């Protein structure tokens, strides 16, 4: 079907042709015809990225009468960002209808300006439930004449606690109207709204429920939890052109990862709820215009950010809810493009990954975290490609060429190239020299998810020893400080470190058993900031090696002594902690 066949007005056809829309998406095929020909309510199970804004926007704009002065359609959506996004889209769709106006109203912004806009009149109001309800109560927004009521991302509005406002708004709408409800999922609350406020609604689902985008590949990397950040950096280095959202679990994790990532020279920024609205707007604008290559975000903050060309979605932390995974990964592979959804997991998370595999009916492919050589090669040829494609037409360097060539006299062509490449690459080569293998190796005979024939989990090859140290939170010791201390005193940068447990005056941690003795000898009795360090092996009371147990009670083996400790110096190897690689040249997006 073509847009011409749907019966939309020529003004709208012209606008969407200019936007590059050639054919309606499956959801648009149904909704456009349905709204033009029928007044029956509609419930559509649809994810973002399916073209649902145009699915409701185009037929509503088409059916609106420019003779009527009152607001004719109310669109409710969960966030300010989505509200502005919908308004932007509707403005484009209605660009050739003289006098057509869509008014966005949302919380956290000056209400007087919104009241002024409402007073000057418009055909459509798009708003968040809280602000819309407020304006209705204050009799500043009159919805008594609306003919189309649209609930966009209805499930999300419930999740965000807008149930009361939704009920209050829906209860005041006129009986004679057509209601359209769009939701990515159908939780109980949505069924309730459907039965309470919708009449004999036509139900439709776009694509398979929970299917996720077809052209998205699902990759995962299995590493120790402590290596997640190093893995993220390797992924970013291995895809020099990636344009990605990195999803974290909490605001704090988002902030920590982003701060470190930026300090490490990546072209990234954070988007989370602790930022002011102005800061969030600024970050989103920079990401949309591709001044930023990677956006580190929470799920909530990233909602409403509509970017169609993401090459990757990176799950730095796997979500608890498989549906959230499907939603995240659906942000790539849009508008006919292919995309990659990457998940970084540790061994404990393989079960959850299986769950997502089952629900989405997508096969996850294990990828190995690239090693130093592979990354350096990728970066090198990326640079060569950039050199080949750089625009030299302005002729600005032309005048210096004779002098430059004079400087290079006597050097061969390949030597000159070597010099330039080395200038750019020596540091990276040095950084990745002897880079550790970050992958968790699974025993032979087990599948990539670490299960053997009986389905139980595989074990990691490394053997860890649990150590005790007489420093903890009181001495300002944190995990990265402890790692820094281990690196500094062992004089090695590649000791595997397992679980770290920082208590008030002491801490436990696991290290690769092969380095246990060296580390204890190097650190024991060292005086750090006036405190004498005591460190020793921990053995469980039952005499089991501590590393083979989860928790339990422990006694120390080795040296005794008081709690001295002291603030350890920072400075983990460049890959291990959150304080590394600040000296790396800043990456630029080209
Ligand atoms: P949505 O699901 O509304 O967030 O839309 C996802 C993206 O697809 C937006 O960037 C739209 O501009 C774009 N889009 C929507 N409908 C079409 C269409 N028929 N053809 C091409 N792109 C579209």
User: Does residue 221 sit within a domain?
Assistant: yes
CATH number at residue 506: 3.30.70.330
Of all atoms in ligand 1, which is nearest to the CA of residue 89?
A: 12
197 and 223 belong to one structural domain: no
- Residue 572 — pLDDT band, cuts 50, 70, 90? very low
188 Cα to the center of ligand 1, angstroms: 28
222 and 349 belong to one structural domain: yes
56 and 173 belong to one structural domain: yes
Q: Is the CB of 32 under 6 A from ligand 1?
A: no
More confident of the two residues 480 and 220: 220
In which residue are the tokens 């919104």 written? Answer: 114
State residue 368 phi and psi, 5-degree precision. -90, 135
- Report, as an integer, the average pLDDT of 404-426: 89
User: Does residue 131 sit within a domain?
Assistant: yes
- Residue 319 — pLDDT band, cuts 50, 70, 90? confident
CA 56 to chain CA centroid, Å, is 27
Quote the number of domains for the chain: 4
pLDDT for 586 equals 36
Predicted confidence (pLDDT) per residue in 92-109, tens digit: 999 999 999 999 999 988
Listed in sequence order, the DSSP H helices in 198-316 are 228-238, 251-263, 277-288, 299-302
Of all atoms in ligand 1, which is nearest to the CA of residue 306?
A: 4
CA dihedral 401, 406, 409, 411 (to 10 degrees): -40
- Report, as an integer, the average pLDDT of 110-121: 95
Q: Is the CB of 335 under 6 A from ligand 1?
A: yes
The residue whose C-alpha atom lies closest to atom 1 belonging to ligand 1 is: 51
Of all atoms in ligand 1, which is nearest to the CA of residue 85?
A: 4
**Alpha-carbon distance 153 to 128, whole Å?**
11
Q: Is the pLDDT of residue 364 over 70?
A: yes
56 and 7 belong to one structural domain: yes
User: Does residue 453 sit within a domain?
Assistant: no
Q: Is the CB of 54 under 6 A from ligand 1?
A: yes
| 504, two tokens | 């008030």
121 and 35 belong to one structural domain: yes
53 Cα to the center of ligand 1, angstroms: 7
Beta bridge partners of 247: 297, 315
Query: What sign results for the dihedral spanned by CA atoms 330, 274, 224, 295?
Result: positive
- Report, as an integer, the average pLDDT of 437-457: 56
Q: What is the Cα gyration radius of the chain? A: 29
48 and 143 belong to one structural domain: yes
Q: Is the pLDDT of residue 157 over 70?
A: yes
The residue whose C-alpha atom lies closest to atom 16 belonging to ligand 1 is: 51
Predicted confidence (pLDDT) per residue in 32-78, tens digit: 999 998 999 999 988 777 788 999 999 999 999 999 999 999 999 99
Tell me the helix, strand and coil percentages in the chain, rounded to 5: 40, 15, 45
511 and 411 belong to one structural domain: no
pLDDT for 493 equals 63
140 Cα to the center of ligand 1, angstroms: 33
Of all atoms in ligand 1, which is nearest to the CA of residue 48?
A: 2
User: Does residue 588 sit within a domain?
Assistant: no
Structural domain containing residue 105:
3-205
Ligand 1: residue of 55, 335, 337 to mutate (most ligand atoms within 8 A of CB) is 335
More confident of the two residues 1 and 422: 422
276 Cα to the center of ligand 1, angstroms: 29
Listed in sequence order, the DSSP H helices in 433-557 are 479-490, 516-523
- Report, as an integer, the average pLDDT of 551-572: 28
User: Does residue 437 sit within a domain?
Assistant: no
Of all atoms in ligand 1, which is nearest to the CA of residue 46?
A: 2
Check: CB of residue 103 under 8 Å from CB of residue 118.
yes
User: Does residue 236 sit within a domain?
Assistant: yes
Closest to 483 (Cα-Cα) out of 570, 546, 566, 581:
570
User: Under 8 Å CB-to-CB from 23, ≥6 apart: which residues?
Assistant: 1, 2, 3
User: Does residue 452 sit within a domain?
Assistant: no
At 361, is the secondary structure helix, strand, or coil? coil
User: Under 8 Å CB-to-CB from 549, ≥6 apart: which residues?
Assistant: 540
CATH number at residue 155: 3.40.50.300
45 and 193 belong to one structural domain: yes
More confident of the two residues 530 and 537: 537
Say which range, 50-59, 230-239, 448-457, 503-512, has the weakest mean pLDDT: 448-457
Q: Mean pLDDT, the chain, as a whole number?
A: 82
559 and 480 belong to one structural domain: yes
- Residue 495 — pLDDT band, cuts 50, 70, 90? confident
The residue whose C-alpha atom lies closest to atom 22 belonging to ligand 1 is: 21
Residue 524 CB coordination number (10 Å): 17
pLDDT for 548 equals 34
Q: Is the CB of 304 under 6 A from ligand 1?
A: no
- Report, as an integer, the average pLDDT of 252-280: 89
Q: Is the CB of 306 under 6 A from ligand 1?
A: yes
pLDDT for 473 equals 87
Burial of 26: CB neighbours in 10 Å, binned 0-12, 13-18, 19+: middle
Say which range, 62-76, 172-186, 438-452, has the weakest mean pLDDT: 438-452
Say which range, 38-52, 229-243, 572-586, has the weakest mean pLDDT: 572-586
pLDDT for 308 equals 72
171 and 28 belong to one structural domain: yes
CA angle 572, 428, 287 (to 5 degrees): 85
304 and 401 belong to one structural domain: no
Q: Is the CB of 15 under 6 A from ligand 1?
A: no
Check: CB of residue 64 under 8 Å from CB of residue 36.
no
Predicted confidence (pLDDT) per residue in 185-194, tens digit: 877 888 889 9
pLDDT for 253 equals 92
Q: Write down the pTM of the prediction.
A: 0.49
pLDDT for 558 equals 32
**Alpha-carbon distance 37 to 505, whole Å?**
73
**Alpha-carbon distance 321 to 333, whole Å?**
21
70 and 160 belong to one structural domain: yes
The residue whose C-alpha atom lies closest to atom 21 belonging to ligand 1 is: 21
Predicted confidence (pLDDT) per residue in 323-357, tens digit: 788 888 888 887 667 789 999 999 888 888 888 88
Q: Is the CB of 17 under 6 A from ligand 1?
A: no
Of all atoms in ligand 1, which is nearest to the CA of residue 25?
A: 19
Say which range, 6-20, 196-210, 552-566, 575-589, has the weakest mean pLDDT: 552-566
| % the chain with pLDDT above 90 | 40
**Alpha-carbon distance 64 to 329, whole Å?**
35
**Alpha-carbon distance 318 to 344, whole Å?**
7
pLDDT for 85 equals 92
Q: Is the CB of 308 under 6 A from ligand 1?
A: yes
Q: Is the CB of 24 under 6 A from ligand 1?
A: yes
Q: Is the CB of 25 under 6 A from ligand 1?
A: yes
Q: Is the pLDDT of residue 28 over 50?
A: yes
Of all atoms in ligand 1, which is nearest to the CA of residue 308?
A: 10
pLDDT for 213 equals 57
User: Does residue 162 sit within a domain?
Assistant: yes
Helix or strand holding residue 246 (H, E):
strand 244-247
């Amino acid at each position: 079907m073509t847009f011409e066949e749907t019966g939309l007005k020529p003004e709208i056809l012209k606008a969407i042709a200019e936007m590059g829309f050639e054919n309606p998406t499956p959801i648009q095929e149904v909704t456009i015809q349905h709204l033009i020909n029928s007044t029956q309510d509609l419930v559509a199970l649809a994810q973002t990225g399916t073209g649902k804004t145009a699915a409701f926007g185009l037929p509503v704009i088409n059916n609106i009468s420019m003779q009527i002065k009152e607001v004719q359609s109310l669109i409710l959506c969960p966030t300010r960002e989505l509200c502005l996004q919908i308004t932007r889209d509707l403005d484009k769709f209605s660009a050739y209808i003289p006098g057509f106006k869509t008014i966005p109203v949302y919380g956290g912004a000056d209400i007087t300006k919104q009241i002024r806009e409402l007073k000057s009149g418009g055909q459509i109001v798009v708003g968040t439930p809280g602000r819309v309800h407020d304006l209705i109560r204050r009799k500043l927004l009159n919805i008594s004449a609306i003919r189309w009521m649209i609930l966009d991302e209805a499930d999300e509005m419930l999740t965000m606690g807008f149930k009361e406002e939704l009920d209050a708004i829906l209860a005041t709408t006129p009986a004679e109207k057509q209601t359209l409800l769009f939701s990515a999922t159908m939780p109980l609350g949505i069924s309730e709204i459907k039965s309470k406020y919708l009449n004999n609604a036509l139900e439709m689902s776009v694509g398979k429920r929970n299917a996720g985008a077809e052209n998205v590949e699902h990759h995962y990397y299995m590493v120790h939890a402590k290596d997640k950040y190093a893995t993220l950096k390797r992924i970013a280095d291995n895809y020099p052109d990636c344009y990605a959202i990195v999803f974290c679990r909490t605001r704090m994790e988002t902030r920590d990862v982003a701060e470190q990532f930026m300090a490490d020279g990546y072209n990234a920024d954070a988007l989370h709820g602790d930022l002011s609205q102005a800061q969030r707007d600024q970050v989103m604008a920079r990401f949309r215009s591709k001044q930023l290559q990677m956006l580190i975000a929470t799920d909530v903050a990233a909602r409403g950010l509509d970017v169609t060309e993401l090459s990757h979605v990176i799950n730095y932390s796997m979500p608890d809810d498989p549906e959230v995974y499907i939603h995240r990964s659906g942000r790539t592979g849009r508008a006919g493009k292919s995309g990659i959804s990457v998940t970084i997991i540790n061994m404990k998370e393989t079960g959850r990954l299986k769950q997502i595999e089952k629900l989405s009916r997508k096969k996850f492919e294990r990828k190995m975290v690239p090693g130093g050589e592979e990354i350096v090669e990728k970066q090198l040829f990326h640079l060569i490609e950039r050199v080949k494609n750089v625009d030299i037409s302005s002729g600005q360097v032309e005048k210096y060429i004779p002098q430059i060539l004079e400087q290079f006299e006597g050097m061969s062509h390949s030597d000159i190239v070597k010099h330039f490449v080395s200038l750019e690459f020596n540091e990276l080569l040095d950084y990745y020299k002897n880079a550790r293998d970050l992958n968790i190796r699974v025993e032979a005979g087990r599948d990539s998810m670490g299960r053997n024939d009986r389905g139980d989990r595989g074990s990691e090859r490394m053997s860890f020893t649990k150590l005790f140290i007489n420093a903890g939170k009181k001495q300002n010791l944190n995990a990265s400080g402890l790692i820094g201390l281990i690196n500094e005193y062992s004089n090695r940068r590649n000791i595997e470190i397992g679980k770290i447990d920082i208590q008030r005056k002491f801490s436990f941690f696991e290290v690769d058993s092969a380095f246990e003795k060296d580390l204890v000898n190097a650190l024991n009795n060292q005086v750090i900031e006036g405190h004498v360090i005591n460190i020793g092996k921990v053995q469980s009371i039952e005499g089991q090696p501590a590393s083979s147990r989860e928790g339990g009670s422990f006694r120390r083996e080795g040296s005794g002594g008081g709690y001295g400790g002291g603030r350890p110096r920072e400075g983990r190897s460049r890959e291990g902690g959150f304080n590394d690689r600040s000296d790396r040249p800043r990456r630029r997006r080209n």
